[in-house]
A and B are shown apart, each in its own frame.
Chain A
Amino acid sequence: MLGFCFSARKVLISGAAITLMASSAIAQNVVVAIDPGSAESNLYWETIGGLIPPHMQSLVGNDPETGAYDNSGLAESWEHNEDFTSWTFKLNPEAEFSNGWGPVTAEDVVHSAALHVGEDSRLSGIQALRDATVTAVDEHTVRFDLPSPEPDFLFLHAGRAVLLIYSKAQFEAEGLEGYAENPAGSGPFTYVSRDLSNTLKFAPVEGHWSGVDVDFDSLELRFVGEPATRLAMLLSGEADIVSLPRELQADAVAQGNEIVSSAQASMQSAMVFSGLFMNSDGPAKDLNLPWQDVRIREAMNRALDREAMIDILYEGRAEPLTVFSMDPRFDGYVPDLTENFDDSYGYDPERASELLAEANYPDAFENRVIPIAATALAGNPEFGLMAELAQSLFADVGLQTEIREMDWPTLQNARVGFTADFVHPMRNAPVRPNAIGVLASHTTHLSPAYSIGSPELDEMGAELVETKEPAERANIVENMFTYVFDNYAHMPIATVSAEVVINPERVKGWQFPGASSSGFSHFHLIDTVE
């Protein structure tokens, strides 16, 4: 009897030990090393919205594979009125905040919207919510009444995430300090801590209301500015997932690590012209920019060997782009332009030289030297090289250029102040619905600084803003893209996925759509090696 008891105890102890070993085997802290953000705060509206913290949620989610809007966010369904000025969201009744702050209700959405549109808001795209009236219809129904039609309202909630939902109950109990110290969210993680400029830590929510089950024990986002250090972190096992410039990715892969790409394109790149160059009354008139002449714009486009650029800049892992801000996933896409791309934009240095001669370049131009801004932008480490490559290709056809080193804020300030007289690399992150993209990147309607100054295009943009009927809108967008294409208004380069490098001994994979502002999302889908 004693022997049996002893054996049973041994078995129990062994069982407990095995259980402990098993649990320690699956205990995994996932460390993701990325670039530091431009602003760091637990108050999301005080950032530009580049990184959606894994503990927070928006009303609308994205499918991890297709990027399509889905109900993986806080709303289980939504509807809009006929003219897209009123959107109603039904919240998932199961949704609840972490740390015991209760269910997510329509009042939380109203409260959060008020915070997000405050004067101190820096969020990208927040203007779309500024004049909205947000009403709690009932406990789980919230309505947004908008001053003008917003057919792409779901993009603002999903891809751009201009509105994350905070707990009103927590605010009433703790105020903004509570949010700053320990913000409750409704996502699959809870907030643990933030060490400014260093780390953000999260823990998975056990038995999350959505049914999401995270397969690791904690998530740590490390902000590391030096790419070589991020590579070293991966190689030494200190980080499991890192973002790396492409020139360092090869070193990481050579050591047995793997590249994981977003399921969908997350960004478009282009070389863009500055100044209101299609507006004869605008500031560009005084600058006498060479690219005011469409023949110069075509020559510059034809001077670019895009295939070589994609190979060099993106190691071939990118698709050629037809028109900057046009994407085949959204209404308004014009397949004909893609089919005609080679005829109109294909690499043809001879034709480029002919066009320059036809335009009497350089003799006919007061400012014959074309400045190219070489700049760095987080998440776009290839921009400097892109500028140098473009300079080399332009030189081949006889264009005189100079590289101007400048940081992104200086470039931005010049564009906002309409004093920019250079061409420069540009990116569109995240890839937007075509109607938003064409308005923001080419007209005065959403981002005036990026307007090319064409009165004709602005007129079409104004018509688009007022039009509600989907087919008609698509038609206008198509016409706008065709206009941009025909007038060589930009130098489109590539459509690119967001990429990270993973240590396959620790992480099996990570499915994310690339649809968010930073490209990275769906942290709960990081699949670890158990």
Chain B
Amino acid sequence: MKNFVLIKIIEAMIALWVITLIVFGLTHLSGNPAGALLPDDATQEQIDFLIQRLGLDQPLHIQYIKFLGGALQGDFGMSMKWPGEPAMGVVFDRLPATLLLGGVAMFISIVIAIPLGVMSAVHKGKTIDSVAQGIALIGQSMPSFWLGILLIWAFAVGLKWLPTSGSGTFMHLILPAISIAWFQISALTRLTRSSMLEVLDAEYIKLARAKGVSEPMITWKHALSNAAIVPLTYFGVLAGSVLTGSVVIETVFSWPGLGWTAIEAIKARDFPVVQSVVVVFAIIFILANLLVDLLYAYVDPRIR
């Protein structure tokens, strides 16, 4: 198990290093930030100062080494769109809002998807199964931003029950969290359903039934505890999807999180903030997957 953990940690470190290479390369390939940060009539003097201030006048490999050196110490430079703010400061300022939104979205996903998937499997071919399949189909075919706008239209503009956008109260959380959760609900429901169907057909379930164990006990204890391993594996993906989903949804709902910050930073070619956001997203994603791998190995000894 120790070797397994060690290998997984080394893999995670390598993945993170590769991500720094990619994000550094992509941000620099996207062009000079002068066009985004300076006015149309910027003088050469203004352009030169900005380029020098960002260190863009140095060879690319030197820039990367400096970036990596700074990143290892948590210093990603100063934001260009939000002057005076350290890039990582902007990220940490916005991170709690994204974690809150993502956490609520994941909670909604799990609370709805797992029971729905289980019920769908148990009542295969019946009405509840059809409903669950329908929800899954709609959720996976409808873009989240479109769903977000529809929800705004229905619940904020039409019914006036909830705010259109912004943050500050629990009410502000509901629509964006549902928008992010919807896709995850459909994915998780399908996974849970197929996993449960497989387990419900297993010999030990038949044996339990023969022994007279009640159906709820068979479904929710014996079957689900074994079937849960597949949805559990999906949690790593789920965490990543929630983060990437936040980029679009936070923009639609003006939710002051990392996703909205990322979009604003990309539009402004704010290299330091873009790099910080991507690295933080990557760390969260890698940690979530590492945790899932370890849990998976713990639950299923064959994996080790």
Contact = CB atoms under 8 A, between A and B. Distances in A.
A226 interface: yes
B139 interface: no
Interface stretch (A9-17, A355-363, A411-419, A498-506): A411-419
Interface string B35-58: 111111111111101100100000
B35 A222 contact: no
Contacts of A413: 31-32, 34-35
A454 B85 CA distance: 44
A300 interface: no
B254 to A, nearest CB: 5
Contacts of B152: 228-229, 232
A38 B35 contact: no
B217 to A, nearest CB: 48
A71 to B, nearest CB: 27
B269 A409 contact: yes
A416 B252 contact: no
Interface string A211-245: 00000000000111110110011011110000000
B98 interface: no
Highest count of chain B CB atoms <10 Å: which of A39, A222, A235, A440: A39
Interface residues of A, number: 50
Contacts of B85: 196
Given A122-B38, A228-B149, A412-B40, A41 B251 contact: no
Contact of B256 (A125, A180, A198): A198
B261 interface: yes
Contacts of A228: 149, 152, 252
Interface string B178-201: 000000000000000000000000
Contacts of A237: 160
B280 interface: no
A445 to B, nearest CB: 11
B49 A38 contact: no
A130 B90 CA distance: 32
A38 B50 CA distance: 15
Contacts of B46: 121-122, 126
Contacts of B268: 38-39
B254 A440 contact: no
Contacts of B166: 198, 222, 238
A229 B81 contact: no
B264 interface: yes
Nearest to B268: A38
A476 interface: no
A447 B44 CA distance: 9
Interface stretch (A42-50, A106-114, A201-209, A290-298): A42-50
B39 A48 contact: yes
A408 interface: yes
Nearest to B32: A413
A353 B11 CA distance: 64
A197 B254 CA distance: 9
A447 B31 contact: no
B81 A238 contact: no
Nearest to B36: A409
A195 interface: yes
Interface string B62-96: 00000000000000000011111100001001000
A460 interface: no
A41 B83 contact: yes
A125 B46 CA distance: 11
A29 interface: no
Nearest to A447: B41
A235 B252 CA distance: 16
Contacts of A43: 83-84
Contacts of B164: 229, 232-233, 236, 238
Contacts of A336: none
Contacts of A411: 35
B251 A225 contact: yes
Nearest to B163: A238
A297 B226 CA distance: 73
B256 A409 contact: no
Interface string B146-188: 0001001100110010011111000000000000000000000
Interface of B: 30-47, 49-50, 53, 80-85, 90, 93, 149, 152-153, 156-157, 160, 163-167, 251-254, 256, 260-261, 263-264, 267-269
9 contacts: A43-B83, A46-B83, A48-B39, A124-B41, A125-B41, A228-B252, A232-B153, A238-B163, A446-B41
The 5 closest A-B CB pairs, nearest first, are: A412-B35, A409-B35, A124-B39, A409-B36, A46-B83
Given A238-B165, A238-B166, A412-B36, 14 more contacts: A38-B36, A39-B37, A40-B81, A120-B49, A122-B50, A125-B39, A197-B261, A224-B165, A225-B251, A229-B164, A229-B165, A232-B153, A236-B156, A412-B35
